[in-house]
Amino acid sequence: MNFISLLYALFLAGTLFFYWRTDGQQSKLWTIVISSLLFYALFYKDRPPLLLLLNLSLLGTIIFVNFWIGKLLLESQIIEYRSARNNLREPGELPFLPRNKAERKRVVILGIAFNVLLLLGSKYIPFLLTTFAGLGFPALEGAALWYRSNILPPLGISFLTFESIAYLVDVYKGSPATGNLLKYAAYKAFFPKLISGPITHYHEFSPQLNALKFPTIEIIAEGVWSIACGAVKKTWIADGLGTYVNLVWDPSNLERAGSIDLWLALFAYGWQLYFDFSGYVDIARGTSLFFGIKLPENFNFPYFSTNIADFWRRWHITLGDWLRHYIYFPLGGSHEGLKRTCLNLLAIMVIAGIWHGADWGFLVWGIVHGLALVIHRLTAHFSAKNLAAQAFWASRSGQFLGWLLTQPFVFMAWLFFRLPKLANSTLVLQNLWGKPADAQFASKLIEAGVKLDNGQILACLLAVSLVTGGIYYWRRVLKLELGWGVKLFLIPVAFYLVWMLVLPGQGSPYIYFDF
């Protein structure tokens, strides 16, 4: 089911009707769980029923196993506290219950291993089989082809895995767990965030479930505004740019596209990805407000960051937070010396690359971002010993230079994200300079509905950049927001513009649904 469709609007309206018509928390939790399972099932309406059953079973397994491990950790902590003055088991205590922190740590490690292995088994087996086939085991190639054709990774498996690991680690460290399976299932399966996040923490989500109340007019209006903004981002900008990007970077066209086309597609994809993903998050956050739930922000104008570390504090914020808290800090963070800090930075970005997809391009993307973070950390380390360097990087000239170094790198690195097959991405790199376009390429653009020449496409990209920059200046520098009168005028205009481009139920899928 596409977020931008009449089907989704009817589904949301029906769900909200039953949600707020029911009394009590339990009924509302059941409404969330049932509607979320239906939402998930509608994504597989064109797939074999057996595949739907398999993936629903996997979703249920993830929810139940992580709930059970969290409950085990909670009961262990309670019993250890109660029996701190003796070494006797309490009546009714489970014989396999962890007895101390060391045993609880082993349980957490087993829980993390379960989630990681489930992710590997769901998403990476074909890639691993193909890799080993290329190392001298050709029989595995057939198995990889069969797996790709018959087993599809469950939607949202990457996000579910990271949320589950965060829950177990948080409970181990003392955050509240839950003994209510229904409540945990509602947290995990909440459909606005089920497929592509934002990554949320149970201890932030749960208190909102305990205090559900019908949203005020202001909150409802904010939700509608957020959905309208997200829909415009997706249909008018992301999908518009995507038509050109998909054509240029179609593997069959890479040899025909000229250097100028490749450069334009490179920067167009960076903006497409941003507006596609942030548009999804806007709709997810707006939808959640109707349920009395607030999801975390995930973007903060990342293309205006002036260094790569700041970029990762602004881009996919919940993923960056997860990587810091559950990998970077446990590895020692920046407290184990400069060399160890650089290795830790490289490690978290390699993991980020692998998490996004099963292909070599994602690994390369992670490595180059890790190296960029290492270079930034080394620059900051040596600049800290030089007052002139500190003053320069803090000045407007230094900030501008930092932005000029950061953003072209970010856009270039997206190449491996969009073309994860190294043969394709390498071909683009080779053709970025001095390659004329094939004569047939222009006709292909026209056939696909792209009637703009390169100068006009460049003008469109500059317009997108300038408008986004203006919004950034308005909201982050001047600290201003649009008044409600203006928003109420723009909301119907936005939905009308979206309706002009998208026939009911025919919107293009979100890019991050593949991850």
Q: How far apart are CA 93 and CA 76, in angstroms?
A: 9
Q: How far apart are CA 79 and CA 93, in angstroms?
A: 8
Q: How far apart are CA 367 and CA 347, in angstroms?
A: 8
Both tokens of 464, joined, read: 């997108």
The residues annotated as belonging to the active site are 356
Q: How far apart are CA 107 and CA 69, in angstroms?
A: 8
CA-nearest of 288, 299, 278 to 191 is: 288
**Residue 273 burial (C-beta neighbours within 10 Å; 0-12, 13-18, 19+):** buried
How many H-runs (helices) and E-runs (strands) does the chain carry?
23, 0
Secondary structure of residue 173 in the 3-state scheme:
coil
Q: How far apart are CA 492 and CA 346, in angstroms?
A: 46
Q: Residue 421 phi/psi, 5° resolution?
A: -75, 120
CA-nearest of 199, 190, 374 to 287 is: 190
Cα 277 versus chain centre, distance: 7
CA-nearest of 250, 184, 223, 164 to 16 is: 223
- The DSSP output letter for 324 is I
Q: How far apart are CA 265 and CA 457, in angstroms?
A: 9
Q: 63-87 in b/e burial notation, b at 16+ Cβ within 10 A?
A: beebbebbbbbbbbbebbeeeeeee
Secondary structure of residue 346 in the 3-state scheme:
helix
CA angle 299, 302, 307 (to 5 degrees): 140
Both tokens of 65, joined, read: 């196993």
